[in-house]
């Protein structure tokens, strides 16, 4: 009898579950029946949005289309990429130079697209290297990294790389405070001695060249994330902090003791004015500034020797601290610029500050105290509201431009939609699993494209076919155009999809270059036609000025190379047709292939180690006669070699 009763209950339970599934489809994450239609982009059609999804520990930036989730390109930024010879060829090696020497890797976190008047202009993407602090700029006319600047006095460059509303500055804040300048000292003397540098990098409006304008030397907290003010709060920048305890060991406990940490509000316009009037001091430093020139197709690395530092306590009205509960992580500003959302990751609530109330508190000097000379405002004077108990482990918030905010919750693994102003929770959708950042295209601007949100998950477990212990991380696409969010698509990502920036495709795609004009090629070893093809010896260095065009190399026979030579293959692609790159690789070369775009010149070095006749070939299937695109180099003993000669078709 007992078992029969149990059976009945179970059956009833199953029935109820099914019934509720049918009724509350959107609440349990089930797909609506036409989800496939809504993400389907027919063959030959284009996606509506570009999504630039960072690779986290891969150090790169991936380019996806939305809503399809198709991967188009992985742009190498901070890590060597043998596929594209980035960091392997002679032209791009300087891009990865730092004050610590050549570094083939970094941890790329937060991409942000350049803005004009608070709207995305689609010219550049900036992204931070977390580990060896750097900021990179990707030029969206070529989808290549064209500039990297190292950040001195910084460590764990995490509250970066966010741009102000006219791309006046890209901002890089340090996560780890360190001795400034670096010196040998006991770690236990952290408190009061370590500093947190917030770096403002000016961006030259025409070409986007970066230069460190000033570094604000803040107290030794951890500066976690940041966002610019916009609209009414343009001119301010907001940084979340944790470890206001200034602990240096067992951080998970010791940096989680204070009930409230801070959001630091920085009036950068006031500091800019201060610096313009000669404020701040030039401090000796050593950091690399690497610039890739599209004309010479080459990067140069320059070591810079000083940086301007500003002590916040010496600039009245420049910095204020807004108490924010429990180690806030995300620090996000709504499209109007009024609300600053602090996601206290150890709190169950979300705190929203009001810019207007903050200005009022500052004007009336309602200070609660100070930290190292920086005024602390009172929590209740700046708080606009609290989203009460929306989930567990709030991290990041983006906005749809319709008065709604979307916050990720790492621990409860969900995205929660709530309303600005009333602070009521409107909807929630699960994430699979443990979501970090989320991205609404334009969600960090005055004008979000509020159609989709992409959630980026750290853990996938059983969501895809297993691939051994290491499984893919993933992104999830939700339609947010209706009242309720709808999950449409899962797609795997490259590396860790740490954060992303999205933009309407139309803004970017017509600016995308098809070829490099050969006549504008100013590479010092480039050639403009077959008439310039030659091989020159300079001691043990041999320079091959080679051309490639369908379907041959010129020269394709070279003799007179000796064991012990350093042979530089400077290879110019003479093609001027869209999507006709050629590659080249030499047997035994201790480097990657080259992949050379039409009109471009790239260089690899080969050091032959034994006599013989050694072939090279085109590595990119370029044409019907790609297999015939090959050549030979004769290598002779150092003391007995024929004269240097080269030829094609003789």
Question: Residue 70 or 514: which CB sits closer to other proteins?
Answer: 514
Which of 349-357, 377-385, 535-543, 576-584 is the region at the interface with other proteins (rule: CB under 8 A)? 576-584
Query: Which of 48, 112, 575, 602 is in the footprint of other proteins by CB under 8 A?
Result: 575
- Using rule CB under 8 A, residue 625 touches other proteins: yes
> Could you give the string, one character per residue 480-519, with x where binding to other proteins holds by CB under 8 A and - elsewhere?
-----------------------------------x----
DSSP secondary structure string, 154-185? Answer: -SSEEEEEEE-TTSSEEEEEESS-EESS----
Closest CA to 312 of 262, 260, 378: 262
Instruction: Please state the closest distance from residue 624 (CB atom) to other proteins, in A.
Output: 7
Question: Residue 265 or 574: which CB sits closer to other proteins?
Answer: 574
Instruction: Please state the closest distance from residue 628 (CB atom) to other proteins, in A.
Output: 9
Question: Residue 359 or 580: which CB sits closer to other proteins?
Answer: 580
Angle CA(590)–CA(591)–CA(596) in degrees, nearest 5? 145
Question: Residue 517 or 536: which CB sits closer to other proteins?
Answer: 517
Which of 78-86, 342-350, 450-458, 569-577 is the region at the interface with other proteins (rule: CB under 8 A)? 569-577
- Using rule CB under 8 A, residue 577 touches other proteins: yes
Report the alpha-carbon distance of residue 152 to residue 133 in Å, rounded. Answer: 7
Question: Residue 73 or 550: which CB sits closer to other proteins?
Answer: 550
First and final C-alpha spacing in the chain: 98
Report the alpha-carbon distance of residue 319 to residue 316 in Å, rounded. Answer: 8
Q: Which residues of 525-559 are buried (b: 16+ CB within 10 A; e: fewer)?
A: bbbeeeeebebeeeeeebbbbbbbbbbbbbbbbbb
Closest CA to 99 of 181, 175, 161: 181
Report the alpha-carbon distance of residue 429 to residue 35 in Å, rounded. Answer: 15
Instruction: Please state the closest distance from residue 356 (CB atom) to other proteins, in A.
Output: 53
642 DSSP 8-state letter: P
Question: Residue 82 or 625: which CB sits closer to other proteins?
Answer: 625
Q: How far is CA 133 from CA 101, 125, 177, 292, in A?
A: 13, 17, 12, 19
Measured in whole angstroms, the distance separating CA 577 from the mean position of its chain's CA atoms is 31
Instruction: Please state the closest distance from residue 598 (CB atom) to other proteins, in A.
Output: 9
Which of 6-14, 218-226, 310-318, 572-580 is the region at the interface with other proteins (rule: CB under 8 A)? 572-580
Which of 107-115, 214-222, 531-539, 573-581 is the region at the interface with other proteins (rule: CB under 8 A)? 573-581
Instruction: Please state the closest distance from residue 577 (CB atom) to other proteins, in A.
Output: 5
Closest CA to 251 of 233, 229, 224, 227: 224
Instruction: Please state the closest distance from residue 574 (CB atom) to other proteins, in A.
Output: 9
Question: Residue 424 or 517: which CB sits closer to other proteins?
Answer: 517
Question: Residue 42 or 624: which CB sits closer to other proteins?
Answer: 624
Question: Residue 211 or 517: which CB sits closer to other proteins?
Answer: 517
108 DSSP 8-state letter: B
Element (H, E) at 272: helix 268-276
- Using rule CB under 8 A, residue 42 touches other proteins: no
Which of 85-93, 95-103, 410-418, 570-578 is the region at the interface with other proteins (rule: CB under 8 A)? 570-578
347 DSSP 8-state letter: S
- Using rule CB under 8 A, residue 576 touches other proteins: yes
- Using rule CB under 8 A, residue 531 touches other proteins: no
Residue corresponding to tokens 């740490």: 498
Question: Residue 188 or 510: which CB sits closer to other proteins?
Answer: 510
Instruction: Please state the closest distance from residue 576 (CB atom) to other proteins, in A.
Output: 4
Residue numbers 534-553 binding other proteins by CB under 8 A: 549-550
Q: Is the bond leading into 85 cis (omega within 30 degrees of zero)?
A: no
Query: Which of 250, 465, 531, 624 is in the footprint of other proteins by CB under 8 A?
Result: 624
Q: How far is CA 419 from CA 29, 339, 347, 388, in A?
A: 21, 12, 19, 12
Which of 369-377, 537-545, 563-571, 574-582 is the region at the interface with other proteins (rule: CB under 8 A)? 574-582
Count of residues near other proteins by CB under 8 A: 9
Instruction: Please state the closest distance from residue 549 (CB atom) to other proteins, in A.
Output: 7
Report the alpha-carbon distance of residue 375 to residue 381 in Å, rounded. Answer: 13
Question: Residue 375 or 598: which CB sits closer to other proteins?
Answer: 598
Q: Report residue 198 as tokens.
A: 């917030």
Question: Residue 284 or 649: which CB sits closer to other proteins?
Answer: 649
Which residues are registered as beta bridge partners of 491? 475
Q: Under a CB-based contact definition with an 8 Å cutoff, are residues 371 and 355 in contact?
A: no
Which residues are at the interface with other proteins (CB under 8 A)? 515, 549-550, 575-578, 624-625
């Amino acid at each position: 009898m007992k078992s029969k009763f149990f059976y009945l209950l179970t059956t009833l339970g199953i029935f109820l579950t099914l019934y509720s599934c049918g009724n509350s489809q959107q609440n349990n994450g089930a797909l609506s029946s036409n989800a496939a239609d809504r993400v389907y982009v027919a063959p030959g059609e284009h996606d509506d949005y570009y999504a630039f999804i960072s690779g986290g520990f891969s150090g790169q930036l991936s380019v996806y289309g939305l809503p399809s989730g198709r991967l188009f390109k992985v742009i190498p930024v901070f890590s060597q990429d043998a596929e594209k010879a980035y960091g392997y060829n002679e032209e791009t090696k300087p891009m990865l130079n730092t004050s610590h020497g050549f570094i083939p890797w970094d941890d790329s976190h937060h991409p942000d697209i350049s803005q004009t008047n608070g709207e995305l202009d689609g010219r550049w993407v900036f992204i931070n290297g977390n580990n060896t602090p750097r900021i990179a700029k990707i030029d969206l006319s070529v989808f290549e990294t064209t500039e990297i600047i190292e950040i001195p006095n910084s460590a764990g460059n995490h509250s970066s790389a966010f741009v102000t509303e006219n791309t006046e500055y890209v901002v890089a804040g340090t996560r780890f405070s360190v001795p400034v300048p670096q010196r040998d000292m006991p770690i236990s003397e952290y408190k009061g001695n370590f500093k947190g540098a917030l770096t403002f990098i000016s961006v030259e409006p025409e070409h986007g060249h970066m230069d460190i304008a000033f570094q604000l030397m803040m107290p030794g907290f951890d500066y976690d994330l940041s966002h610019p003010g916009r609209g009414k709060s343009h001119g301010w920048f907001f940084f979340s902090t944790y470890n206001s305890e200034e602990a240096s060991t067992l951080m998970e406990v010791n940096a989680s003791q204070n009930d409230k940490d801070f959001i630091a509000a920085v009036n950068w316009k006031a500091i800019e004015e201060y610096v313009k009037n000669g404020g701040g001091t030039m401090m000796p430093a050593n950091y690399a500034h690497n610039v890739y020139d599209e004309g010479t197709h080459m990067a140069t690395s320059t070591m810079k020797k000083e940086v301007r530092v500003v002590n916040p306590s010496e600039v009245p009205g420049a910095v204020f601290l807004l108490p924010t509960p429990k180690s806030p992580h995300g620090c996000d500003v709504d499209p109007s610029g009024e609300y600053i959302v602090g996601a206290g990751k150890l709190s169950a609530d979300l705190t929203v500050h009001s810019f207007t109330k903050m200005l009022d508190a500052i004007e009336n000097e309602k200070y609660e105290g100070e930290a190292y000379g920086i005024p602390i405002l009172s929590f209740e004077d700046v708080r606009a509201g609290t989203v009460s108990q929306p989930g567990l482990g709030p991290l990041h918030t983006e906005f749809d431009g319709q008065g709604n905010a979307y916050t990720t919750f790492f621990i409860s693994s969900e995205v929660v939609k709530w309303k600005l102003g009333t602070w009521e929770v409107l909807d929630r959708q699960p994430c699979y699993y443990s979501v970090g950042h989320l991205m609404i295209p334009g969600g960090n601007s005055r004008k979000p494209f509020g159609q989709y949100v992409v959630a980026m998950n750290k853990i996938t477990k059983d969501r895809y076919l297993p691939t051994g212990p290491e499984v893919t991380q993933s992104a999830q696409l939700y339609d947010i155009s209706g009242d309720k969010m709808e999950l449409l698509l899962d797609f795997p990502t490259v590396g860790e999809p740490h954060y992303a920036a999205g933009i309407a495709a139309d803004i970017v795609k017509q600016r995308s270059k098809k070829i490099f004009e050969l006549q504008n090629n100013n590479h010092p070893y480039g050639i403009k036609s077959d008439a310039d093809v030659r091989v020159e010896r300079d001691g043990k260095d041999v320079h091959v000025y080679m051309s490639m065009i369908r379907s041959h190399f010129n020269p394709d026979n070279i003799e007179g190379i000796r064991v012990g030579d350093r042979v530089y293959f400077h290879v110019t692609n003479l093609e001027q047709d869209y999507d006709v790159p050629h590659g080249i690789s030499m047997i035994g070369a201790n480097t990657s292939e080259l992949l050379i775009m039409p009109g471009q010149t790239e260089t690899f070095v080969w050091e032959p180690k034994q006599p013989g006749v050694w072939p090279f070939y085109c590595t990119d299937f370029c044409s019907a006669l790609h297999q015939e695109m090959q050549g030979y180099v004769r290598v002779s003993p150092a003391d007995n070699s024929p004269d240097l000669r080269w030829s094609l078709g003789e």
